[in-house]
């Protein structure tokens, strides 16, 4: 049983779109308040105001696009005996990291905030403290409770298989 996880692109797009629009709205409100308060460069013409809004909107869209590309290029593949984390850089270069299941100390999830609760996505955390690493966080995962349950079952099956192989090897060494 292999589990392949990728961040939910729809949820990433919705959350980032709302964040981008809120930044633009706050910026527009600040510019309007500054214009009402009598700043000369805003009261002289609305051309400066529209350019400022366009710059902020363009910058927000650029950040939005790069975040989308960085989320889209990540995949987590739970195979029968290892986890493969694959990241694509610039759509051409591939970076892979392999983790054996004995390196994973535990699996948990968290759902914080309005967006995660209402859209049923969250962060799945893999505890890598057995190898001296920090937690590996898999963000924007749909139904994280189900994913954690499936990954824990996969880890349990792996550890049972490892224990069975160890017992067989121990029995063979004892007989010989």
- pLDDT value of position 46: 56
- Is residue 77 within 8 Å of 84, Cβ to Cβ? yes
Tokens describing residue 160 = 């049972």
By three-state DSSP, how is residue 60 classified?
helix
Length, in residues, of the chain? 176
Angle at 158 between CA 95 and CA 139, to 5 degrees: 45
- pLDDT value of position 149: 92
Give, for all 176 residues of the chain, the pLDDT tens digit.
Answer: 678 888 777 777 777 778 777 877 887 777 777 666 665 555 455 566 667 777 777 787 787 777 777 777 788 888 888 888 888 776 667 788 888 888 888 898 988 877 777 778 888 898 887 777 778 888 888 888 899 999 999 989 998 988 888 888 877 666 65
By three-state DSSP, how is residue 92 classified?
coil
């Amino acid at each position: 049983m292999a589990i392949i996880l990728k961040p939910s692109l729809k949820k990433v797009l919705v959350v980032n779109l709302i964040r981008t629009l809120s930044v633009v709205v706050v910026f527009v409100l600040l510019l309007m308040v500054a214009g009402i308060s009598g700043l000369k460069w805003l009261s002289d013409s609305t051309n400066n105001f529209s350019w400022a809004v366009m710059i902020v909107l363009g910058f927000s869209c650029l950040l939005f696009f790069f975040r989308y590309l960085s989320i889209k290029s990540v995949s987590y593949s739970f195979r029968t005996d290892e986890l493969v984390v694959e990241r694509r850089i610039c759509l051409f270069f591939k970076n892979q990291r392999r983790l054996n299941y004995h390196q994973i100390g535990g699996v948990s999830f968290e759902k914080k905030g309005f967006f995660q609760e209402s859209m049923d996505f969250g962060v799945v955390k893999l505890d890598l403290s057995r190898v001296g690493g920090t937690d590996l966080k898999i963000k924007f995962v749909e139904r994280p409770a189900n994913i954690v349950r499936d990954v824990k079952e996969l880890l349990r099956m792996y550890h049972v298989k490892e224990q069975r192989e160890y017992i067989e090897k121990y029995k063979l060494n004892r007989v010989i």
